[in-house]
Amino acid sequence: MHLDSLTDTFHRRHDYLRISLTDACNLRCTYCMPNEKMQVTPSSKLMQAEEIKHIAATFVELGVKKIRLTGGEPLLRKDVRKILRLLATLDVELAISTNAVLVNEYIADLKSANIASVNVSLDTLNAEEFFAITKRNDFGKILSNIHLLLSNGFKVKINMVVMKDINTQAILDFIEWTKEFPLEVRFIEFMPFKGNGWQQDAVFFAIDALKLISTKYDYVKLEDRAESTSRNYKVIGHKGSFGFISTITEPFCDSCNRLRLTADGKMKNCLFDRGETDLLTALRKGEDILPLIQKSVQNKKLQRGGLFDSMNEAAAFHENRTMISIGG
Ligand code: SAM
Ligand code: SF4
């Protein structure tokens, strides 16, 4: 291993890589996809299965301990089984973020790839509200697939993006859900990306969500892991827990350990940095990608990609790629 190869100039060690497998999706979440028709990247421009393995192996060689597959919807990739098989040969913890629509088709593959924990995106427990947010009718399927994951022994985290006046009341429904089921629900502050209609007024602050919860429930604070992006709690007597990812009001950049790879093979050292390093083109030309990865880490900015320091400047995010094309 190349010791400290993925340590940046702010002494942050990076051991977590998120790989997007596709920018296509079977849902149309308003906060993630732009309104206009999205052009999906053609397959020839996407990293192919063996290329994903090669790039991932280089990151592992440099010290990455955990890889999360994301997208778009990663389970839409026709060759996702092959990708899972190839990545499972690496000495790394594998995880996946999915909207769970197709999970029932891949339970066995997730198990054989030793995936222990699955993050599922779900923003409401009301079917009509679900349709309004995602423009699709898959609510029932997602619920049953979440239960399928639980009954198959997976640890399940639910990611809920909270948008003021859209789904804030659902916060209490999610908390109630943690009573009987060992789910970890994470309430995420709505972040701005190109074309997602973000406005400062639409952000429901984590602190207000906690106040809402305290009107009905007694909770305790849980201990957070050092690199955890969420601040975690548990309602007394509930099987599950809940937490907040407050990227807007309390960014966790100081302890950031993440790097990203887009589906078209560009490395991003931060979700919000517009800079990208084209690893796929270099790989296809037969170049060594290891020094490119190291250089990108060295260029990582202290906070939120150096784009802005306060929420008032957050509109600058609109210059970034869409969330779906970065890979959440
Ligand atoms: N399709 C998968 C899913 O939905 O879980 C993986 C990709 S999705 C882009 C990954 C995560 O990004 C989801 O949990 C989603 O809620 C989150 N996300 C997307 N747009 C966001 C935004 N504008 N603000 C906060 N989180 C966002
Ligand atoms: Fe698709 Fe996930 Fe984005 Fe929703 S959040 S549109 S499910 S990629």
CATH number for the domain harbouring residue 157: 3.20.20.70
4 part of a folded domain: no
Triad 312, 18, 306: Cα angle to 5°: 30
List, for residues 146-191, the tens digit of each pLDDT value: 999 999 999 999 999 999 999 999 999 999 999 999 999 999 999 8
298 part of a folded domain: yes
Domain range holding 124? 16-326
7 part of a folded domain: no
The mean of the pLDDT values for the chain is: 91
The C-alpha atoms of residue 211 and residue 232 are separated, in whole angstroms, by: 14
Q: Does the CB atom of residue 32 touch ligand 2 within 6 A?
A: yes
Q: What's the whole-number mean pLDDT along residues 197-213?
A: 92
| Residue 313, beta-bridge partner list | none
User: For residue 191, which amino acid is it?
Assistant: M
The C-alpha atoms of residue 300 and residue 266 are separated, in whole angstroms, by: 15
9 part of a folded domain: no
278 part of a folded domain: yes
The C-alpha atoms of residue 20 and residue 266 are separated, in whole angstroms, by: 10
The C-alpha atoms of residue 209 and residue 168 are separated, in whole angstroms, by: 8
Helix axes 206-214, 170-177, angle to 10 degrees: 60
Q: Which residues line ligand 1 (CB under 6 A)?
A: 25, 31-32, 70-71, 73, 97-99, 121, 159, 161, 188, 190-191, 193, 196, 323-324, 328
Q: How confident is the model at residue 195 (pLDDT cuts 50, 70, 90)?
A: confident
**What is the distance in angstroms between the CA of the first residue and the CA of the last residue of the chain?**
28
Q: What's the whole-number mean pLDDT along residues 254-274?
A: 92
Q: Is 311 helix (H, G, I), strand (E, B) or coil?
A: helix
311 part of a folded domain: yes
The rounded Å distance from CA 77 to ligand 1 centre is 17
Which ligand does the CA of 38 lie closest to?
2
CB of 252 within 8 A of CB of 10? no
DSSP-derived pairing of the beta strands 241-245 and 231-235? antiparallel
Instruction: Report the number of distinct structural domains present in the chain.
Output: 1
Question: Which tokens hold the place of 112?
Answer: 């054989």
Could you give the residue ranges of the DSSP H alpha helices within the chain? 49-61, 80-87, 103-112, 127-134, 139-151, 170-177, 206-214, 279-284, 290-298, 323-326
Taking 60 as the threshold, does the pLDDT of residue 313 lie above it? no
**Which pLDDT belongs to residue 318?**
58
| Predicted TM-score (pTM) of this structure | 0.94
Buried b (16+ CB within 10 A) or exposed e, 243-265: bbbbbbeeebbeebbbbbbbbbb
Q: Does the CB atom of residue 97 touch ligand 2 within 6 A?
A: no
The rounded Å distance from CA 31 to ligand 2 centre is 8
Choose between 251 and 143: higher pLDDT: 143
10 part of a folded domain: no
The answer to whether the Cα torsion of 104, 107, 109, 113 is positive or negative is positive
The C-alpha atoms of residue 205 and residue 264 are separated, in whole angstroms, by: 33
The fraction of the chain above a pLDDT of 90, given in percent, is 77
184 part of a folded domain: yes
Nearest atom in ligand 1 to 193's CA:
23
